[in-house]
Structure formats: C-alpha cells, structure tokens
C-alpha cells in the first residue's frame, strides 16, 4: 500500500492500538509511523487526557490501565 506524505490518525484508532495490541488499528498505526508523517489533531489529544471516561463495564474493569484512570461519567463529574 502506498502512503501519502501524511496520515491522520483518529481517536478510535488510537484507542484500538492501546487496547488491542495485535489489532488492525495497531498494525496500521505502526505501518504509518514507519512510512509517513503521522498527524493527530488537538481534539484527539484532548480526548486522551488525563484519563478515559467509559460507561462500558468491559473497560472499567481495567481501571487503572497502564497508569490511566478509567472512570464512569458520574465519577468524572463528581
């Protein structure tokens, strides 16, 4: 596959790379990093700081994950 000089990575892909190391999002990010300039918007970065808000029990049981707090929306608001 040919890459342009820049590749934009979205939030879902970034989360996929972290939560599923062998996944297609992870492999795509690694390929992009080796072949192009990878761009991430400030909005995407803001979604990643400083923790993760999740209603999904499957994510909350991982709390904390690699030093990242995983909170419910109610916990975040309190």
Contact 9, 40 (CB under 8 A): yes
Question: Are 32 and 12 part of one and the same domain?
Answer: yes
Task: Name the pTM for this structure.
Answer: 0.52
Tokens representing residue 12 in the block: 């879902």
Mean local confidence (pLDDT), 1-8: 63
Mean local confidence (pLDDT), 15-39: 82
Question: Are 9 and 42 part of one and the same domain?
Answer: yes
Domain around 20: 1-47
Question: Are 5 and 43 part of one and the same domain?
Answer: yes
Domain count across the chain: 2
* Burial bucket for residue 11 (CB in 10 Å: 0-12, 13-18, 19+): middle
With a CB cutoff of 8 Å and minimum separation 6, the contacts of 54 are: 60, 70, 71, 72
Mean local confidence (pLDDT), 1-10: 66
């Amino acid at each position: 596959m040919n890459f342009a000089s820049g590749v934009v990575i979205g939030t879902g892909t970034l989360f996929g790379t972290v939560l599923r190391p062998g996944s297609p999002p992870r492999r795509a990010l690694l390929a992009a990093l080796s072949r192009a300039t990878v761009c991430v918007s400030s909005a995407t970065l803001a979604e990643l700081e400083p923790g993760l808000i999740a209603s999904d029990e499957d994510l909350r049981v991982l709390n904390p994950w690699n030093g990242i707090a995983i909170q419910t929306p109610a916990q975040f608001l309190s």
